Amino acid sequence: MTYLIAPESIVGSFLFLILGFAFLIKGGDYLIDSSVKVALRFKIPLAFIGLTIVACGTSLPELFTTTYAGFEGKYDLAMTNVLGSNIFNVCIILGLTGILFPFSINKKSFIWDLCWLIFITTMLILFSWDLKIELYESVVLLLIYSNFIANSWYHLKRTPEEIEQSKDQKPTSVTKDFAFLILGLIGLLIGTRLAIKGGVQIGALLGFPDRYIGLMIMAIGTSLPEMVTSLTAAYKGQPDIAISNVLGSNIANLTIALGLSSAINSFQISEMVLNPDIFVSLFLTALLGLLIWSKKFQLTKVSGATLILSYFSYFYFFVL
């Protein structure tokens, strides 16, 4: 077969990557919208939706790309996709949000989410200390997420205001909601395959190791849904959704994405992924907490700029 642009070329690989990201973003968009509508139809609290369903929805690109990479035996790509995405979420997404739309943060909810994220990141460090993640460790990660969901349900109780807000949602049919949910899932599956193919081909053609591909290409691309969601939420005056989406997505990345993918194939990871990437992820999460605590639970322009500077410092000293 004759191609106008050879798929194995740089141009062809970038087309695969861009098309894959387009499917991932649109698929995630459909899946989030339909999931929220289904959840509201069954009277699930809106605060719980923001922390779990929306956060998980924006993490689905990471879930599919990480699982696929793990299935293909590209363990460093799978790990760095998750860790790079978490670092990007904290530094770039919240950094841009702080610079463009500074806001006050709900102290109780923020501490709750941040403590869970720090705990789970620490557990992942312990699990991967021997440069592999075994099946039983994958199960523990999934059980931790189940515990997080159960405790969050109790922690975020429904209020009359949330029920009233749900009534303002434009009514749609159950069939249409589930149809778009399935359509979103299909979009994510197609996007994952295309993005992985394009990203790996670009890295191979340029001689990049899997760690660079995961941190520089895949992580940023799969974080686009979180960026759109958080920036939109902050712009619309919903700061709690903006920050809980990022923290909830990071939790889902570490537990569901890594848990499921490493359960399929036990991970063998390189020392460069353990040190420094996992430790940098933990440090930057703690830095976020320190910055917000020092500003009396406000995400300010200065804090946002500090987070962005930290991201580029990480790349300069540990990646490039």
pLDDT of residue 308: 97
Phi, psi (5° rounding) for residue 270?
-85, 160
pLDDT of residue 24: 78
Is 231 exposed, middle or buried (CB count within 10 Å of its CB: 0-12, 13-18, 19+)?
Answer: middle
**Three-state helix/strand/coil letters over 27-51:** HHHHHHHHHHHHHHHCCCCHHHHHH
pLDDT of residue 164: 42
- Name the token pair of 49: 């939706």
CB-based contacts of 78, cutoff 8 Å, min separation 6? 65, 66, 67, 69, 70, 214, 258, 261, 267
pLDDT of residue 7: 55
Length of the chain: 320
pLDDT of residue 178: 80
CA separation for the pair 196, 265 (Å, rounded)? 18
| pLDDT in 10s for each residue of the chain, 320 residues | 444 445 567 788 888 888 988 887 788 778 777 777 777 777 766 567 666 777 777 787 888 888 888 888 888 888 988 999 999 999 999 999 999 999 898 888 889 889 999 999 999 999 999 998 989 999 999 999 999 988 887 776 654 444 444 444 555 677 888 888 888 878 877 887 788 778 778 877 888 877 888 887 788 877 878 887 788 778 878 777 788 889 999 999 999 989 988 888 778 888 888 888 999 999 999 999 999 999 999 999 999 999 999 999 998 888 87
CA separation for the pair 79, 277 (Å, rounded)? 9
CB 263 within 8 A of CB 142: yes
In this prediction the pTM is 0.82
